[in-house]
Amino acid sequence: MTGGPLAGIRILEVGHILAGPYATMMLADLGAEVIKLEPPTGDLSRQVGDAYFASLNRGKLSICVDLTTEEGQQRLGELATGAHALLVNLKPSAIRRYGLTYDALRRWNEKIVCVALTGYGLDAGDDPAFDYVIQAVTGVAALTGDPDGPPTLPGYSAADNSAGLTAALGLLAQIVSGCGGQVEVSLRDVMLSQLNYRASAYLNEGTEPRRLPFGAHPFYVPAQLFPTSEGYLALFVTHDGFWRSFAAEAGIEGFATMAERARRRDEVLAVVTAALAADTATGWEFRLRPLGVPAAAVRPLPDALAATPEAVVTAGDFRLIGSPVKVAGYVPEYGSPPRLGEHGGVVAHR
């Protein structure tokens, strides 16, 4: 396979910053031709910095199109004629105003798939919906942090990235159907979906989610971060086999079943914390990994990158993280991020 599983698929992208561009970059990595339709001022992420823009836009083409003009609308229609899909992440009012819906573009191409990636849905208005806002409104922030501390946020754009991947899935699903149409993905719905077992426990059992120390899992015990003699260890014991192996190595007796460990959570955590204090986080990782026990020392990103050099790829002048999707027989060609308007001469038809 030389062209990638999505070779021959043309996708138009209109949007800024993260969620939409991340979605289309994942598709470009798999061989799709992605054309960014940028306003004369460019995608706003260009203003953040070159490395930031590159991390979301490698391997794409860039055409400057002013969608506020009649000429720009004509160009949009011509490009839509030769495209399989359009993915847009803008406010709902802007999506409609610029003619970026299936209803607006079907006269150019009945089979085009139009994906609207918004904060709350195409019909939900223009309330601001940035990543951190969505994490706050869906309950994610309230679930994160220590019980006695303030709510907090993860150190990366969890909502935007998750929504981008979901939008890519919806786009491909509709292309596979063979029918054109409108697909909607909202950041709010994606994050609520990702609260799956938390939401189910509340909806079906009335169990209100609560924060636990060290990010502890609400069901599995022990499954959280633990302090050690040096550093923190992530330990994730999800069944009795893992517990037996861990307990034997740590010199712990009792608490044989998952139900007992959940019932006696505080006792288990006290015993485990005391045992782990006898070695460093990396020492425990070295001891537990060969036993098949899920455990890892908490390490900063530079250390994580140093440990996985195969994850780093070169795209033009930039070193970036490569595609997480590995397809047998296919090695992506990671192209440079485009200069603004660099590919204004791209033909409109396949």
**Rounded-to-integer distance, Cα 85 and Cα 167, Å:** 12
Asked whether the beta carbons of 103 and 182 are under 8 A apart, the reply is yes
pLDDT of residue 1: 62
Give me the CATH number covering residue 155.
3.40.50.10540
- What ranges make up the beta strands (E) of the chain? 10-15, 33-38, 61-64, 85-89, 113-118, 181-186, 223-227, 232-236, 295-297, 312-315, 318-321
Where would I find the H helices in 143-186?
158-177
204 domain-assigned? no
pLDDT of residue 349: 39
- Residue 182's beta-bridge partner residues? 114
**Rounded-to-integer distance, Cα 31 and Cα 25, Å:** 10
Q: Do 246 and 176 reside in the same domain of the chain? A: no
125 domain-assigned? yes
200 domain-assigned? no
Nearest to 184, CA basis, from 82, 113, 81: 113
163 domain-assigned? yes
Q: Do 14 and 113 reside in the same domain of the chain? A: yes
Based on its alpha-carbon atoms, the radius of gyration of the chain, rounded to whole angstroms, reads: 24
Q: Do 189 and 239 reside in the same domain of the chain? A: no
What's the structural domain count of the chain?
2
Q: Do 164 and 221 reside in the same domain of the chain? A: no
Q: What is the DSSP-derived secondary structure letter of residue 310?
A: G
Q: Do 245 and 315 reside in the same domain of the chain? A: no
**Residue 74: which domain range?**
10-194+311-321
258 domain-assigned? yes
Asked whether the beta carbons of 119 and 128 are under 8 A apart, the reply is yes
**Rounded-to-integer distance, Cα 257 and Cα 147, Å:** 26
333 domain-assigned? no
**Helices 187-194 and 196-205: crossing angle, nearest 10°?**
70
Both structure tokens of 211: 């924060």
pLDDT 10s per residue in the chain (350 long)? 678 999 999 999 999 999 999 999 999 999 999 999 999 999 999 999 999 999 999 999 999 999 999 999 999 999 999 999 999 999 999 999 999 999 999 999 999 999 999 999 999 999 989 999 999 999 999 999 999 999 999 999 999 999 999 999 999 999 999 999 999 999 999 999 999 999 999 999 999 999 999 999 999 999 999 999 999 999 999 999 999 999 999 999 999 999 999 999 999 999 999 999 999 999 999 999 999 999 999 999 999 999 999 999 999 999 999 999 999 999 999 999 999 999 985 444 33
Give me the CATH number covering residue 258.
3.30.1540.10
Q: Do 107 and 154 reside in the same domain of the chain? A: yes
User: Residue 212 to residues 54, 137, 266, 340: CA-CA distances in angstroms?
Assistant: 37, 20, 11, 47
- What ranges make up the beta strands (E) of 41-126? 61-64, 85-89, 113-118
- Residue 102's beta-bridge partner residues? none
305 domain-assigned? no
Asked whether the beta carbons of 42 and 21 are under 8 A apart, the reply is no
**Rounded-to-integer distance, Cα 98 and Cα 96, Å:** 5
pLDDT of residue 156: 94
H or E element at residue 148? none
Residue matched to tokens 């847009």: 88
